[in-house]
Amino acid sequence: MGWSSWNYYGDRINEKIIIDTIDNMVSSGLRDAGYIYVNIDDGWQKYKGSRADHPLVFDEKKFPRGIKYLADYAHAKGMKLGIYSGPGNTTCAGYTGSQGNEKADAKMFASWGVDHLKYDSCCSHQQASQKVLKQVFGDMSQALQASGRPVVFHACHCGWQNIWQWGNSVGANQWRIGQDISDDFNYPGNREGYYFDVLDMIDRGVGLEQYSGKGHWNDYDMLIIGLHGHSKELVGTGASDTEYRTHFSMWSILSSPLLIGASLDNLTKEDLDTLKNKEIIALNQDALGLQAKRYVSNGDLQIFAKPLADGSWAVALLNRSGQTAHMTLNFHQDLDLPWTKVMVRDLWQHKDLGTFGDSYQAEVQSHEAKMLVIRSGW
């Protein structure tokens, strides 16, 4: 859990933005809600162009005191710092990449005190074979391990070449399952023929549950909550509070990394309430580390669920349609639960709803996900 600079700022980043973000995460309570990582995405590097022609150094105009200063700053506040590079000669935004310099770069990141690396190959290695990708990600993973510093390793490849099948074997701790998210809940088709909206991303993850688990996660991409169509970088027209809540609920129950993508200055009270809902976050951070499966798919009415470490189950009743719907969760038929009586709790109302026999029925608004925890009523 944390924050990443890309979804709002793109490469228009600097030291002040990172420091203000760290301070804001502390004062807003986001750090204490679990958002620990502050990840600098593409655009911290000084040079654009090929690594063969330029060294990889920070841009001292944007980051006058350098990256180590920021890592120290984050650590002093009980937080962690992330950085970005890629296996190509250039990164996606055209800055110098790490090609041929993996060991030296990993050492440099470690010497700065960096805790997370997003290593992005989707532009430089778009056509690469699985074999080549395994090699380039494996090289950086090993270089990070040789650096002696524990660094979370994000192998970012936009969900191509079935990266979920082999990401874990090359030392990746997370990998994107899809192309970049746009600030949309449900855009018809792919915006600009490329971007995924919230529902596209949820669909993409169906069937990939077995690949996600502790230390190696399917990554549904950074959150769009709080962008409201005003990102400096991402396309998209924003979503309603209900849709942002559904997005957050689903990323949580699906055990995706939760990386806030908005400028913290622009968050509304509703955005903050969404991001800080402890009962929803608990599904994401549950000790079993499971990704919810889709148990019911009745057109636009879908039910996702997963067991939790304390023996209860988390359930999402997702209404993707344009109308309010009555949705029924059949405990035995849908989830095959052995319990005769079932206690139901609503995680947005923060309320126990009572004990039920065979099923629970709810009115679910358009684009809402009713989030429940159910447990044996005996």
Residues taking part in catalysis: 120, 180
Provide the minimum distance between the beta carbon of 216 and ligand GAL in the complex, in angstroms, as a whole number: 19
> Which token pair is 377?
């009523």
DSSP for residue 294 = E
User: Nearest residue to ligand GAL, using CB?
Assistant: 92
Neighbours of 126 (CB within 10 A): 12
DSSP labels, 302-352: EEEEEE-TTS-EEEEEEE-SSS-EEEEEEHHHHH----SSEEEEETTTTEE
Provide the minimum distance between the beta carbon of 335 and ligand GAL in the complex, in angstroms, as a whole number: 35
Provide the minimum distance between the beta carbon of 119 and ligand GAL in the complex, in angstroms, as a whole number: 10
Residue 117, SS3 per DSSP: strand
Nearer to ligand GAL, 88 or 283 (CB): 88
Provide the minimum distance between the beta carbon of 281 and ligand GAL in the complex, in angstroms, as a whole number: 22
Nearer to ligand GAL, 175 or 304 (CB): 175
Q: Which residues of 34-69 are buried (b: 16+ CB within 10 A; e: fewer)?
A: bbbbbbbbbbbbbbeeebeebebebbeebbeeebeb
Provide the minimum distance between the beta carbon of 31 and ligand GAL in the complex, in angstroms, as a whole number: 23
Check: CB of residue 88 under 8 Å from CB of residue 121.
Answer: yes
Helices 66-76/15-27 angle, 10° precision: 10
Rg of the chain taking only CA atoms, in angstroms: 21
> Which token pair is 286?
């549950």
CA distance 205 to 303: 14
Provide the minimum distance between the beta carbon of 176 and ligand GAL in the complex, in angstroms, as a whole number: 7
Nearer to ligand GAL, 247 or 306 (CB): 247
Nearer to ligand GAL, 191 or 375 (CB): 191
Check: CB of residue 96 under 8 Å from CB of residue 56.
Answer: yes
For ligand GAL, the binding residues (CB under 6 A) are 6, 41-42, 91-93, 120, 122-123, 156, 158, 180
Nearer to ligand GAL, 147 or 182 (CB): 182
Provide the minimum distance between the beta carbon of 159 and ligand GAL in the complex, in angstroms, as a whole number: 10
SS (H, E, C) 241-284: HHHHHHHHHHHHHCCCCCEECCCHHHCCHHHHHHHCCHHHHHHH
Nearer to ligand GAL, 5 or 141 (CB): 5
Burial class (CB in 10 A: 0-12, 13-18, 19+), 97: buried
Nearer to ligand GAL, 195 or 211 (CB): 195
Check: CB of residue 225 under 8 Å from CB of residue 260.
Answer: yes
* DSSP alpha helix (H) spans, the chain: 6-9, 15-27, 30-33, 66-76, 102-112, 130-147, 163-166, 198-205, 241-253, 269-275, 278-284, 331-335
